[in-house]
Amino acid sequence: MYRVKEAFYTLQGEGARAGRAAVFCRFSKCNLWTGREKDRATAVCRFCDTDFVGTDGQNGGRFDTAQALAEHLRALWPADSEGSHPYVVCTGGEPLLQLDETLIVALHRQGFEVAVETNGTLPAPAGLDWVCVSPKSTAEVVIRRCDELKLVYPQQDAPPERFLDIQADHYFLSPMASPALPDEGMPDPVRQSNTARATDYCLAHPRWRLTLQMHKLVGID
């Protein structure tokens, strides 16, 4: 049984593949937070701005088989897309709680190139075409090789230096732009200051590149 909060067709908003059309599959549940506000203060990851609880979102649901989920996602790719390579980004929540080799095979059978965006705390199954690791707080990262490392910055317990021994083709800093605590919105000056701090860090440490949430800038999901 696969539990999916929501699934939708959009443009990848961040990182090395920003701007590329993709079906996003947001799996339910995370291992670093329950998703409930009452638990945020004691969670490992406290700045999450994503609703990953349940299966009631757009195109969400429970899928008994990998094939059923793969077909459901394939139907979200435009029919008239000759010459394109269908691309699915598995995210969450924490997708590696559910994404397994069986589902990757089923997605490949539907013609998808398969990417995952994970917090890196669980081993990745074989067969993934693109792995993006986004470390969170003090959580130990067990994936030691990935295509891109994308760190939300700044995080008090997760300075970029801590992750340089993870092999990646791309190292990105993404300025923190979400509420840090329940009911506590992040005013624009703070957001701008995080962007400025991330910019300064990249200038001082050129291995790191700045990535912005393009999907928010252009007003899509």
Kindly list the residues in this chain that would bind ligand SF4 in the complex (CB under 6 A).
30, 32-33, 45, 48, 50, 52, 92-94, 119, 136
Question: At its nearest, how many Å lie between ligand SF4 and the CB of residue 148?
Answer: 15
- Among 6, 14, 24, 195, the one annotated catalytic: 24
Q: Is 117 a catalytic residue?
A: yes
Question: At its nearest, how many Å lie between ligand SF4 and the CB of residue 198?
Answer: 17
**Local structure of residue 16 (DSSP, 8 states):** G
Contact 151, 134 (CB under 8 A): yes
- Among 25, 45, 132, 146, the one annotated catalytic: 45
Closer residue to ligand SF4, CB minimum distance, 46 or 77: 46
Q: Is 6 a catalytic residue?
A: no
Residues β-bridged to residue 89: 24, 115
Q: Which residues contact 170 (CB under 8 A, 6 or more apart)?
A: 15, 16, 147, 148, 149, 209
Neighbours of 159 (CB within 10 A): 12
**Local structure of residue 103 (DSSP, 8 states):** H
Contact 176, 182 (CB under 8 A): no
Closer residue to ligand SF4, CB minimum distance, 54 or 111: 54
Q: Is 30 a catalytic residue?
A: yes
Closer residue to ligand SF4, CB minimum distance, 96 or 104: 96
- Among 14, 94, 117, 147, the one annotated catalytic: 117
Question: At its nearest, how many Å lie between ligand SF4 and the CB of residue 114?
Answer: 19
Q: Is 202 a catalytic residue?
A: no
Question: At its nearest, how many Å lie between ligand SF4 and the CB of residue 119?
Answer: 4
Contact 88, 103 (CB under 8 A): no
Closer residue to ligand SF4, CB minimum distance, 94 or 147: 94
Q: Is 48 a catalytic residue?
A: yes
Length of the chain: 221
- Among 8, 10, 34, 50, the one annotated catalytic: 50
Structure tokens at 72: 């459901």
Q: Is 132 a catalytic residue?
A: no
φ, ψ (nearest 5 deg) of residue 10: -160, -165
Question: At its nearest, how many Å lie between ligand SF4 and the CB of residue 122?
Answer: 11
- Among 6, 14, 30, 147, the one annotated catalytic: 30
Contact 63, 4 (CB under 8 A): yes
Neighbours of 7 (CB within 10 A): 22
Contact 98, 2 (CB under 8 A): yes
Q: Is 24 a catalytic residue?
A: yes
Closer residue to ligand SF4, CB minimum distance, 119 or 194: 119
Active site residues: 24, 30, 45, 48-50, 117, 215
